[in-house]
C-alpha cells in the first residue's frame, strides 16, 4: 500500500484549529508525544496481528499512527487540522513508512464504512472533543466485531472539587474542552457496548515550563497560567505541585476495550 499524503474527507470542521495550526511544527519536537510512557503502555496492550487494519483518531502529528504502522498491515490517521497532518506526512516519510495514509476528517463522523477496522486508537485528544459519546459510538461503528479500541487521555484529578484543573488547561489552550475522570471514561465506554479489558493510570512529572509547551512562559497565556497556579492552593494540591523544582504531576488514562 503506497502512502498518498493527505486525503480530504467531505466531513471536516474548523472548531479550535487555530491553536494546532499555529503550533503544528512545535508538536513534532514533543518528546512526550513521541515516546511517552502512555504510548508504550498502549502499544503493549494492543493485539499484535500483523495483518490487521488500524485507525488512529485525532492523530495530530502522527506519532501514534507511526508506531501502529510498525505493527499493522494498513494504518489510517485522521485529524481535523491539515497543518498537523502535513507534519505527520513529513515525519512518516522520514521513516519510509509505506503503509500509512493520513486524511482530514472529524472524530464523531468519520468517512468509513461500518466494521472496517481491527484496531482503533485515540491518544491525548479526547479532551478537545465536544461530543464524547458520539466519538465513542463512532469508534464502535467502524470497528469490526471483536475489534480493539485503545484510548489514552489526560485525567482530571478525582479530588478536583471546583474544576480548577480544566480551567488551568483552558488558560493554556482554549481548544481544551474538558478532561474527564477515570470513572467518567470507563462509564462512557461501557455504556457504548464495549467490554473493558485493561485500565491503568500513568503519572508523568514535568516542570511547569514543559507542561506549558508549546506555549511560551513569557506569553500572555503563559503568564495567565502562572498566575492562576500561584494563586490557587487547591490546584497546587491536586497537581502535587512542588515549588522547589517548579514541577507538577499529569495523570493519563490508558484503556483497552473490545467491541
- Give residue 18's pLDDT band: very low, low, confident or very high (50, 70, 90): low
Give just the sign of the alpha carbon dihedral 179, 180, 186, 187: negative
pLDDT of residue 49: 85
d(CA 180, CA 242): 24
Burial class (CB in 10 A: 0-12, 13-18, 19+), 34: middle
C-alpha grid cell for residue 95?
A: 521513516
pLDDT of residue 27: 47
Most confident of 22-26, 102-106, 213-217: 102-106
On average, the pLDDT of the chain sits at: 89
pLDDT average, residue stretch 173-199 = 96
Report whether pLDDT(204) > 50. yes
pLDDT of residue 50: 82
Pick the CATH number of 6-158+175-205+251-258 from 3.40.50.150, 3.60.20.30, 3.10.20.600, 3.40.718.10: 3.40.50.150
d(CA 194, CA 136): 9
Q: How many CA atoms lie within 13 A of 241 on its CB side?
A: 19
- Give residue 7's pLDDT band: very low, low, confident or very high (50, 70, 90): low
Residues 70-127: tens digit of each pLDDT: 999 999 999 998 888 998 999 988 999 999 999 999 999 999 999 999 999 999 999 9
Percent of the chain beyond pLDDT 90? Answer: 76
Report whether pLDDT(20) > 90. no
The answer to pTM > 0.85 is yes
pLDDT of residue 31: 47
Q: How many CA atoms lie within 13 A of 140 on its CB side?
A: 17
74 three-class SS: strand
C-alpha grid cell for residue 28?
A: 513534532
C-alpha grid cell for residue 229?
A: 497556579
Give residue for cell 478536583: 160
pLDDT of residue 8: 53
pLDDT of residue 84: 85
pLDDT average, residue stretch 225-249 = 98
The dihedrals phi and psi of 78, each to the nearest 5 degrees, come to -125, 140
Instruction: Show me where the domains of the chain are located.
Output: 6-158+175-205+251-258
Residues 36-51: tens digit of each pLDDT: 799 999 999 999 888 8
Task: Find all residues with CB under 8 Å of 254, minimum gap 6, and list them.
Answer: 38, 41, 42, 45, 150, 151, 152, 198, 199, 200, 201, 202
Amino acid at each position: 500500500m503506497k502512502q498518498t499524503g493527505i486525503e480530504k474527507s467531505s466531513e471536516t470542521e474548523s472548531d479550535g484549529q487555530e491553536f494546532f495550526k499555529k503550533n503544528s511544527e512545535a508538536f513534532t519536537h514533543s518528546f512526550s508525544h513521541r515516546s511517552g510512557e502512555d504510548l508504550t503502555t498502549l502499544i503493549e496492550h494492543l493485539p499484535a496481528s500483523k495483518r490487521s487494519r488500524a485507525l488512529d483518531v485525532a492523530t495530530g502529528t502522527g506519532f501514534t499512527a507511526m508506531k501502529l504502522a510498525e505493527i499493522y498491515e494498513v494504518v489510517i490517521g485522521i485529524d481535523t487540522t491539515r497543518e498537523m497532518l502535513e507534519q505527520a506526512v513529513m515525519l512518516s516519510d522520514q521513516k519510509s513508512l509505506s503503509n500509512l495514509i493520513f486524511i482530514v476528517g472529524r472524530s464523531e463522523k468519520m468517512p468509513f464504512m461500518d466494521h472496517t477496522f481491527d484496531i482503533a486508537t485515540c491518544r491525548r485528544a479526547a479532551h478537545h472533543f465536544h461530543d464524547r459519546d458520539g466519538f465513542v459510538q463512532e469508534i464502535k461503528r467502524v470497528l469490526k466485531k471483536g475489534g480493539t479500541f485503545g484510548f489514552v487521555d489526560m485525567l482530571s484529578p478525582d479530588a478536583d472539587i471546583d474544576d480548577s484543573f480544566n480551567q488551568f488547561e483552558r488558560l493554556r489552550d482554549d481548544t481544551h474542552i474538558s478532561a474527564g475522570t477515570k470513572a467518567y471514561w470507563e462509564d462512557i465506554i461501557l455504556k457504548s457496548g464495549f467490554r473493558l479489558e485493561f485500565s491503568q493510570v500513568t503519572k508523568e512529572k514535568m516542570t511547569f515550563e514543559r507542561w506549558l509547551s508549546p506555549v511560551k512562559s513569557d506569553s500572555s497565556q503563559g503568564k495567565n497560567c502562572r498566575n492562576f497556579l500561584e494563586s490557587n492552593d487547591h490546584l497546587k494540591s491536586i497537581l502535587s505541585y512542588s515549588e522547589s523544582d517548579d514541577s507538577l504531576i499529569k495523570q493519563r488514562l490508558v484503556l483497552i476495550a473490545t467491541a
